[in-house]
Structure formats: structure tokens, C-alpha cells
Structure 1
Amino acid sequence: MARRLRPVGLDFVETAPLRLVFAAEVAAPPEAVYRALAEEVEAWPHWFAAVTLARSVDGGAGREVRLSGGIRFMETIMATVPAERYAYRVDETNAPGLHALLEEWRLTPVGSGTRVQWTFAAAGAAPLRISLRLGRAALGRACRDAVRTLDRRLASTAA
């Protein structure tokens, strides 16, 4: 059953009770990474293994995302700065114990490539916070694997 979450602003990425930050470097330029994140939403399942469905809604102002295991999110896009920043807030989910969630992707040029930083900012019940802290390594691995897969995908489409 879907529940509405507490709406939060972009400042939540810095003030959330739980912040998990992961980073990886890729060979692709920031423009290509941004395009894959923000403009080619439907392709997310091809490079982020946990994502089974992603699609733009409300004329691109939001997204619907489904994860393996049956978790669903309805999101509002909060920031779109081409080649630099992409952020979205979860408005509705069936994930238990979650009160608020904002995710931000920051892109920084590094040589001819990009440093991709993903921040997962959340508020929730104690069991959720504990499980996210315990699962930090797995979530970080999933992020790094997704970014590496995205980099390979971008390299193959550029060739």
C-alpha cells in the first residue's frame, strides 16, 4: 500500500537524519552522464540492476520508479542543472518505515571523465535507519556497479 511521505526541499540533502554518500569515477563526460540520468529515464533498468522500471510522469516533472523486490516510488524532480546536478524527492512509496527521501546526483569533471556522487538522504523509523546503515556497503556497491555499467553503456553507444 502506497503512503505519502513528508515533502522536503533540496536542503534535506544536507540536513537529513541519515545521509549515505557514494562516489565513483567514469570515463564518460558529465554531459553524457547527465543525459542518462535526467533525460533517458526509461533506460535506467539497463544500467541500474535494482531498477525494474523507470519512466517520466507529469510531463517530465516527476518519475515513477520500481525496484526489484516490489518497492515503488513516485517522485518529484527537484533539481536539473545540466552536466552538474540531478535531484528528486520521493512523494509516495510502499517502502515501510520511510518518512522522507531525497536523492541527489552530483557530476564533477575529472580530466576527460566525471566524478559521479550519489547522496541518499532519508528520514524514517529506527528499524529503517538501522537497516540502511547496516546495508550501507551493499547500497554503495550497487551504486558503484550501476555507475560502472552506465559508463560501459555510454562508451558502447558513443562508439
Structure 2
Amino acid sequence: MIEFQPTLYLRQSCASCLELAAFLAEGGLFDHFIIQDLWPGDENEGAIDPEPTTIIPPPDFPAAQVAPGEVLIGCDAIIAHYAQRRGLNPDGMPYYQYVQRGPVRRMREQAARRGEPDGALGTSGKERKTRTDRRRNGGRLSRLRHRLAVGDPA
């Protein structure tokens, strides 16, 4: 029997994804996840491996499949889940606080000036995506959902 490994869905240049990555790295949890980078067209895009996943989250980032059939969406929800589960205090994590108060804050300020939600990449399910983002993610996620539905691991 294969042991379940949580999957983390991140998007490059997403302020909330950076914030979550800082928390998980400082808490010693980042290596605990299978990382799925769902930014189609990016030169760093990796192949999406549907084998370890049973659920594809909606196109909101960050998201984590924390157990079979259980997906958490949004930085705050994922941090709260692992902080409580592992006894971590985000307020007492200096690197996480540095990233949150520095780069993440700047990314959000710049996005707000451009009229984009949280780096234009969505985190809470309430934020909308641009047409381009929807098209990019929609096609890729649709193909992945189809492969999972028909049992095609490629």
C-alpha cells in the first residue's frame, strides 16, 4: 500500500503562495509535499503527475490536498491547518514574518495599484482571474481532470 503524500498547488509570483512556502519551509514541512506548479507556459513548468493526486482543486492558489478527498484553499486555511496540527506559532517564525512583512506585502501593494487581487493569482475563491489566466489554467486543468477520469497516467 502506498502512503498518502499531501500535494501542494502553487503558482509562481503569487504573493500568498510565497507566504505559504515561507511558513512551510521554516516549519520544516515543505519537503513533506508533492509540489504542483500550475503555471502553463512558464519555462520552469514541470510535468503534472496525476498519479499521486485524487482531487484537482479549483484554480485558486495556493491549495493543498491534505488528505484523500480533503483540499484546503487559501494561504490562511493551509497555515492554520498545519500550525494547529504541528504546534507551530507563525508569529514566532522570523523568516516567515520577514517574508510576510516584506516581499509579500510589496507584491500585494503592487497588485492593488494595478487593480489585481493578491498578485492576480487568486487565493480565497472570491477573487477573479483574468481571461488569460482562466484560459491557461482551464485548458491544462481540463486535460488533467480528463486524464484522471479515464485513468490515463500520462
TM-score, structure 1 length as denominator?
Answer: 0.27
**Higher share in helix:** 2
**Higher share in strand:** 1
